[in-house]
Amino acid sequence: MKREHTNHDNFSSSGSCSSSSKPPMWPCDADDELFAVLGYSVKPSDMADVAQKIEHLEQVMCSVENDGLSQLASDTTHYNPSDLSSWLESMISGLNPTPDFDSGVNRMVVDSDFGSDLTAIPGKAVYPNPRAKPPSPAKKLKLSPQETESSESIVMVDSQENGIKLVHSLMACAEAVQKENFKLAEALVKNIGFLAVSQAGAMRKVATYFAEALARRIYGLYPANPDSGFTDLLQMHFYETCPYLKFAHFSANQAILESFAGRDLVHVVDFSMKQGMQWPPLLQALALRPGGPPRFRLTAVGPPSTDNTDQLKEIGRKLGQLANSINVEFEYRGLVTNSLADLTAALVGRREGETVAVNSIFDLHPLLARPGAIDTVLRVVTEVKPEIFTVVEQEANHNGSVFSDRFTEALHYYSTLFDSLESCGGGSDEDRVMSEIYLGRQICNVVACEGADRVERHETLGQWRRRLGAAGFEAVHIGSNAHKQASVLLELFGGGDGYRVEEKHGCLMLGWHTRPLFATSAWRLAS
């Protein structure tokens, strides 16, 4: 369509979020621009059909009594008036009386389209790419697990005007940074500050963190490298506040337990020791298994302590005490190293007759910050010849090379995560605040840092699958038992029915509503 005025660049396809399930793939399938600008979603190929429906309706309406018309109108349920074709359709069927018409039902007008009044924030710059979907209705989602890729991004935002303005200002700022238009970016980031404080709850926090991160990037005030001890502490609070880490531990342990079935000598190599919270439940499960527990060895890998204590040793000691109390033979060794890439198979050690499980919770993605590190580590793991290699990672691509894409991904991801934090009831207030700081630091890292400093290089399950496949691993199916038990765990945890456990290609994903957030996968050496 020839462009008479560029004003219809101002608006992207509007209001089609609840009627169509995915954005148009091809240009000729896109909504008509002239209508889109006016708030209506009509495909060029549908126009004749729409005209016909209008004619039909006019004829039908003529035959209806004048008095009856407005009554009938309010008795129809109006879905998404932007989608003219289906709106007209619903009117046509509404005006043809149906058998249950008299039951007095449906006097309400259902606003199932939260998006329609919020569409059309003008400007290409504000929509980062034509594929971006408008925000979809909050909290009205499918109940069954789905097989879709997590590339469908959903922004859980407050439906007030300022909320939408805020999201778009954030994205516009990211784009300005991408284009190195720092003057514009600077002005936008100041404005974001104003808009952020007009929000409440999750949106306010997310926006504030992202704004800060952007500001740091713009002004070159990069954050100092995080103190690992403090990060561990933050992660503990995160563990208390919401079920994600518990789920991670639980599902990894399930896989490890299954792989240890019938084995008498087991060795867990934990890349992610931290406070060792994953292991008591595993030890207990091993203690209770039919046939009695195996002899259990734990090699814990961790960074050097920043204070004078020997954290790893201390935690090992405590675990030893627990193991003793439940009669599990326990041996422990701590491996202190600055980076997993400094490990060798020899250092890790493998004894004759041992069944080895290697465990990594959020420790693979930081390796992507240095070239070659991930390959080194994966190779070392293969050399250790584990029975199982459990991997838990954030289910998001925050490692794209294009800054603005990365930014948008992260915005969606952390918005969802903060949203779920707000809704889930676990932990004390302090836990919650610390959890937010924990996530806020990740946001800062994703947005403000580059190179070796940018360690929060999350990648999706699909991406990890490729990497692990290339390194010689194949996926182990995490049993449906684990899935069921994870669901039960979540029930117990509370937070309403926002959490979703999904199984995908044998891996388990935990998410908030339809957005998967964390993925647990299990691997073994390919035969």
CA distance 213 to 444: 5
Burial 153-170 (b: 16+ CB within 10 A, else e): bbbbbbeeebbbbbbbbb
Nearer to other proteins, 125 or 489 (CB): 125
Strands of 163-302, DSSP E = 265-270, 295-302
Q: Does 164 bind other proteins (CB under 8 A)?
A: yes
**Sole binder of other proteins in the list 20, 23, 78, 405 (CB under 8 A):** 78
Q: Are 464 and 441 in contact (CB under 8 A)?
A: no
Closest CA to 155 of 144, 166, 143: 166
Q: Does 73 bind other proteins (CB under 8 A)?
A: yes
Q: Does 16 bind other proteins (CB under 8 A)?
A: no
Q: Does 63 bind other proteins (CB under 8 A)?
A: no
CA distance 465 to 461: 6
Q: Are 359 and 272 in contact (CB under 8 A)?
A: yes
Residues numbered 233-292 forming contacts with other proteins, rule: CB under 8 A? none
Q: Does 166 bind other proteins (CB under 8 A)?
A: no
> Which range in 164-172, 207-215, 235-243, 249-257 contacts other proteins by CB under 8 A?
164-172
CA distance 90 to 83: 11
Q: Does 106 bind other proteins (CB under 8 A)?
A: no
**Sole binder of other proteins in the list 17, 18, 121, 434 (CB under 8 A):** 121
Up-side HSE of residue 45: CA atoms within 13 Å toward CB? 5
Q: Does 107 bind other proteins (CB under 8 A)?
A: no
Chain centroid to Cα 4, Å, comes to 41
Q: Does 14 bind other proteins (CB under 8 A)?
A: yes
Query: Position 516: which residue type?
Result: P
Up-side HSE of residue 260: CA atoms within 13 Å toward CB? 31
Q: Does 179 bind other proteins (CB under 8 A)?
A: no
**Sole binder of other proteins in the list 29, 45, 69, 470 (CB under 8 A):** 69
CA distance 378 to 380: 5
Q: What is the closest distance, in whole angstroms, from the C-beta atom of residue 270 to other proteins in the complex?
A: 48
**Sole binder of other proteins in the list 82, 394, 415, 521 (CB under 8 A):** 82
How far apart, in Å, are the Cα atoms of 257 and each of 111, 318, 523? 49, 21, 14
Nearer to other proteins, 129 or 151 (CB): 129
Q: Are 510 and 499 in contact (CB under 8 A)?
A: yes
Q: What is the closest distance, in whole angstroms, from the C-beta atom of residue 48 to other proteins in the complex?
A: 8
**Sole binder of other proteins in the list 23, 24, 38, 525 (CB under 8 A):** 38
Lookup: tokens for 519: 């993925």
Closest CA to 22 of 151, 108, 177, 159: 151
**Sole binder of other proteins in the list 16, 18, 40, 217 (CB under 8 A):** 40
**With CB under 8 A, what is the number of residues at the site for other proteins?**
64
Nearer to other proteins, 84 or 424 (CB): 84
**Sole binder of other proteins in the list 15, 243, 276, 511 (CB under 8 A):** 15
**Sole binder of other proteins in the list 126, 233, 336, 345 (CB under 8 A):** 126
Q: What is the closest distance, in whole angstroms, from the C-beta atom of residue 71 to other proteins in the complex?
A: 9
Residues numbered 180-219 forming contacts with other proteins, rule: CB under 8 A? 183-184, 187-188, 190-191, 194
CA distance 81 to 78: 7
Q: Does 58 bind other proteins (CB under 8 A)?
A: yes
Q: Does 423 bind other proteins (CB under 8 A)?
A: no
Q: Are 164 and 134 in contact (CB under 8 A)?
A: no
Beta bridge partners of 476: 522
CA distance 61 to 82: 21
Which residue ranges make up the site for other proteins (CB under 8 A)? 4-11, 14-15, 32, 34-35, 37-40, 42, 47-48, 50-51, 54-55, 57-58, 61, 66-67, 69-70, 73-74, 78, 81-82, 84, 88, 91, 109, 111, 116-123, 125-126, 161, 164-165, 168-169, 172, 183-184, 187-188, 190-191, 194
